[in-house]
Structure formats: C-alpha cells, structure tokens
Amino acid sequence: MSLPPEKASELKQLIHQQLSKMDVHGRIREILAETIREELAPDQQHLSTEDLIKALRRRGIIDDVMKELNFVTDSVEQELPSSPKQPICFDRQSTLKKTNIDPTRRYLYLQVLGGKAFLEHLQEPEPLPGQVCSTFTLCLHYRNQRFRSKPVPCACEPDFHDGFLLEVHRESLGDGTRMADSTTMLSISDPIHMVLIKTDIFGETTLVASYFLEWRSVLGSENGVTSLTVELMGVGTESKVSVGILNIKLEMYPPLNQTLSQEVVNTQLALERQKTAEKERLFLVYAKQWWREYLQIRPSHNSRLVKIFAQDENGINRPVCSYVKPLRAGRLLDTPRQAARFVNVLGYERAPVIGGGGKQEQWCTLLAFLCRNKGDCEDHANLLCSLLLGYGLEAFVCVGTKAKGVPHAWVMTCGTDGTITFWESLTGHRYIHKPTNPDEPPVAEQPKPLYPYRTIGCVFNHQMFLGNCQPSDAVETCVFDLNDESKWKPMSEEAIKSVCAPGATTSLPPFPPLCASTIDASVTSNEIEMQLRLLVSEHRKDLGLTTVWEDQLSYLLSPALASYEFERTTSISAGNEEFQDAIRRAVPDGHTFKGFPIHFVYRNARRAFATCLRSPFCEEIICCRGDQVRLAVRVRVFTYPESACAVWIMFCCS
C-alpha cells in the first residue's frame, strides 16, 4: 500500500517522536558498545548490520519498539455522535494507550489536573476506603463529541486527573479529510462546554457549574501547549459566586508545525466578540420595537406571558428561540412518541431558590439538563420540541399558564390537515385541541377540553416567534392559525436567524448529541427486586409476620409491566388478556389475588418502597395476613438514552 508523500512524512514524524520518547537511540548506542566489547576479537574491527540487529533482537529492543508503537489494525470507525466517549487518558511520560487515533486528524488533548478552592467542601472529611461519599463528575461537549470524567470525591481540592482527546476538524468546509492547520482552527469558534455535576450519597444530582472554555489560546502558545486556571462560577442565583478553580492543560496533537502569534489569536477573538455584541444589540433594539407594537394592539397584552428572552443557568439572557433546534436522536429513539416518553422519564425539578417567594426561573442549556438528568418544565419542553422538529414535525414550544395561573411550558404540533396536538412534556400525554367558539349560543354543545392549560401568551421554535394577539388568551377559545397576523403577531424570521441560527453568534451553546444508556436493564431490575424483597421481609418481620415468596407468580407479572410501558410509549394497550388468563390459572380456587403496579423514574429501592407504603392499597398487599399468604414482587427497568429509565414495580399477594 503506497502512501501519499505528506502522509508518509507524517508517519515518519510520529515514529521518530515515539523512538526519541523511548530513548531508543541511547539504548542502541549502549548495546553497540557492549557488543563490540564482548563479541569482537581484538584483530577483527568490522561489525555487520546483521550482527547488530541480532544483538538488538536478543536484548528485546526491537520487540519493545514494536509493542510501544501499538498500531491499531482495526478499521478506524468514525465515532457515531450518539456514543458517549470515555476519557482517553495518556500522559507524555507513558505511551499512548491503544486508542483509535487517526494520524491524519488534528486533536486537542485536554487534561484536567486537579481542582482547588471548592470552599463549600472545606470541612468535608477524607472518605474512608469503600465508604460511599458525594462525588464530582465533569462532563464535556465539543463539536458533537461528549466525554465524562471519572467521579472523584467532593473535597476542597478535588483530585481530578483525566485526559480527553478532542478531534478538531471542519467538515463543513469540505476539508473533513485534511488535517486542520492553525489558521483553519482559529476560525473554529465552538467553545468546549464543561458542566460540573455533584452526585450525593443517595444518587441525587445537582448542577454545580457550567463553563464555556475558549481553547484557541493554545494556537498562539509555544509548542502548541498551554496551561490555564479556570474559575468556575455557580449557577442560577449564585452565578456571580465562585465555586472553585480547575487546572487545565491544553496540547495540540500532532504538535503544530507553525504557531500563530498571540496577537493574531487575541485579535480574532476580539473581532468575534464585537460582531456577536453588535448582532445581539440590534436584536434587542428590534425586540423592544416589536414589544411596543404588540402593546399598541391592546394595552391588556402587558399581562400576557410573552417571553422573548430567558435566563440560562449562568444568568445570561438569551432569546428563547436559541433554546430549540432540530435534534436527531440517531438510532436511540425510533418514534416521536418514544421521544416524548424519553423526555417524560427525565426527572422534574424546579430551579432551586434561596428563601421563599416566587418561582426562580432558569432555563438550562441542553448539556446541563442532560448531564443532571432533571430540569424544569421549560427544559423538558425545549428538548421535546427539538426532538419533534428532528422527526420532521412542525413543533412549537407554548408558554402560558396552568390552573391557578401557574406559569407553564408545553409543546404543540401542527398537522398538515390543521390538527393541533398538545404534548405535555412532563407526563408524555397528548391532547387534541378543538377550539370552542365564544360567539355560539349558550345552548350549542361545546367540546370540553381535557388538557390542563388555561392561557397561552406565545409560541416559538428555532425559526419563529409568535405573540398571541387574539381578544382572549384562554387556550380553549384560541385559534391556532399561525399565518393569520390578526391572531398571532410574528417576529421577523431574519431577525431571529441573525442571533439564533447555528454559528450566527459565538455566544450560542452548541447542541450536544444524545448518548446511549450505560445501564444494564436486567442487572438493575434484579438488584432493585432483591432489595425490595429484603425491605418487605424486614417490614413484615417488624409486624410479627412471616414472608413466603413465590417466584413463579413473580415471573408471571413481567408481561403486565411490559404492557404498561408499551402503553405509555404508544398509547396502545396490548397483551392484557394473556396476563389475566395466566394469573387465573396460577391462583388456586378459594384464593384471592391482589396486585399493585407503580412507576418511578429513579432507581433508589428504599425511596420507592417508602412511596409505595404511602398507598393504602399497596400497604394492604405488603402487610397482608391470612392462611397460605404468598407474596411476589416484580421489577422491570426500561432504559432510555442519557441513562434515563422508567422503573415499573408490581407487588402482589395471593
């Protein structure tokens, strides 16, 4: 196989680096001197190449070199965006671990070398070996590549020691196959998004910090290597407070042939910042003008929920349209309804607020939401809308209120036949909207709405923003003809594109791809089931009751749990007849059967058991007394991307 000249010289350079790193030349010199001393007679001063190679082979030098070079013979498959990448750890002293490094590509090797000044954990005692403790995990996203560090115990100086190999290339220019040079890389403005997550001893996650790292300073540093200290700020109400400092080392690989001057790099970054600030200023001027016009239609519009900007976790105001973008789930989700189920099993948590008062509003960037695995209703609605747009549907996020005037966000899709469907991102439920006509006579029968929404102020997606300017903002009387400007006041699509289109401004966080689940469904189901059996037995023992488990009955509950999950995903019920028939055959004459299914989105058995006991019906089954009482419990975990899961539990007694 002949290589093009530039590839051959590159390969030679790589081999040369490896040889000099192992100090092979020094070792050859030693062996040469030794061989001459030992093997040559004083009268014979000539040593052939064959003799030398024999000597090198005998001492294992050649084998060492071949081992160290570590050629990857497997075909180097391009990583699919949906596969989570493990940190590829190597340091300059040790050799490269076997990893699919394509010698024709340019990489940025980012090392996190410890943290300091995490003052909230100043009093944290050293964890004992094997003791469960709270941990920090660092998640990274860069140009469709995602990485996650090993969890480290929370401490004032957390012991992060991870390396991440980020591929830097620009496919959009048609140079996907060429190695990026310094100038090309300077034009790649995507930052590295770093999210720090804290996981407590119960498995609950908290977002600690979200930071955008500008990596291009490495292009102007000597040898393409630079070290930085990164100060992480808190999130939400604490976005002005420092939470800690990370030590980071950046290194280009293979090393750059020519580095740029620091002045060139700084000028480029300053120009980008200037351009972004100007675009954002112009959009703000336009948004103010649009809002004035909207209020001129009716002064009462002032009280409608028309949300043009929203604050992200770092307290930065961004146009709402920038939180949505068509997102493809690869092969991880097959249908829009499955996508709705996935979004529904991600946990719901309102943004934490210090002290009482109203709702603290915080819309999260997608990476922060996915890494924390939970978020507010707006985060769920933005993700669901993005996935539905990815499936080619015309989807919008709706901002309005539920009962008692509580602000809420949900998703709406418009069918080609004019059908309007509401999707509740927190439950996965879908509702068809049929507007009631307020001008009809009172006798006329009106459709009764099943959805929980009361008012609607605006709808938006990645390209459009429309304010509701109908006389009433009640959802039930709303007509969703979005092209009718007397009912919906649109914003200019050009204005939205100037700040929300991908790459329009450098301040927009790029959207990460979804990652496949790392949870083994059957192993996790078994673990939770065993823990629940133990908890039930202990609970009954405290009541002075014995416990007899019936495995066969437990196994018969599986089809029911599968059918419940299938129904949640597809809205179709199936397989119930077989389950009922099997149970009738399994329960002896004169015995009664009671079953209680329940559904959770977390995997903590103790917490699930405590919740089950709060239900009188479930408590009746668990504390059942009588002759020949047989108990059964079945757990079935259904996994979704991002390690989200639906956990179905069924207790029964006969």
User: Is residue 464 within 8 Å of 489, Cβ to Cβ?
Assistant: no
- Convert the pLDDT of each residue in 86-98 to its tens digit: 555 444 333 345 5
The three-state secondary structure class of 606 is helix
Dihedral of the CA atoms 145, 150, 155, 159 (nearest 10)? -90
CATH 3.40.50 for domain 270-352+359-500, yes or no, is: no
Residues near 607 by Cβ (< 8 Å), separated by ≥ 6?
Answer: 202
pLDDT for residue 482: 93
**Residue-range domain boundaries for the chain:** 107-171+178-260, 270-352+359-500, 521-653
First CA to last CA distance, the chain: 72
Q: DSSP of 54-106, one letter per residue? A: HHHHHTTHHHHHHHHH----S--PPPPTTSPBPP----SSSPPPS----TTSE
pLDDT for residue 40: 61
Closest alpha carbon to 224 in 254, 246, 194, 247: 254
What would the CATH number be for the domain defined by 521-653? 3.40.33.10
Residue with tokens 């977002």: 207
**Separation between Cα atoms, residue 110 and residue 119, nearest integer Å:** 25
Which residues in the chain show pLDDT less than 50? Answer: 71-83, 89-96
User: Is residue 601 within 8 Å of 345, Cβ to Cβ?
Assistant: yes
Assign domain 107-171+178-260 one CATH number from 3.40.50.720, 2.60.40.150, 3.40.50.2300, 3.50.50.60. 2.60.40.150
Residue with tokens 């082979």: 57
pLDDT for residue 166: 92
pLDDT for residue 651: 93
pLDDT for residue 73: 38
pLDDT for residue 41: 57
**Separation between Cα atoms, residue 196 and residue 139, nearest integer Å:** 6
Helical packing angle, 336-345 and 377-390, nearest 10°: 160
Q: DSSP of 498-518, one letter per residue? A: HHHSTTS-TTSPPPPPP----
Cis omega (within 30 of 0) for bond into 559: no
Domains 107-171+178-260 and 521-653 share a fold: no
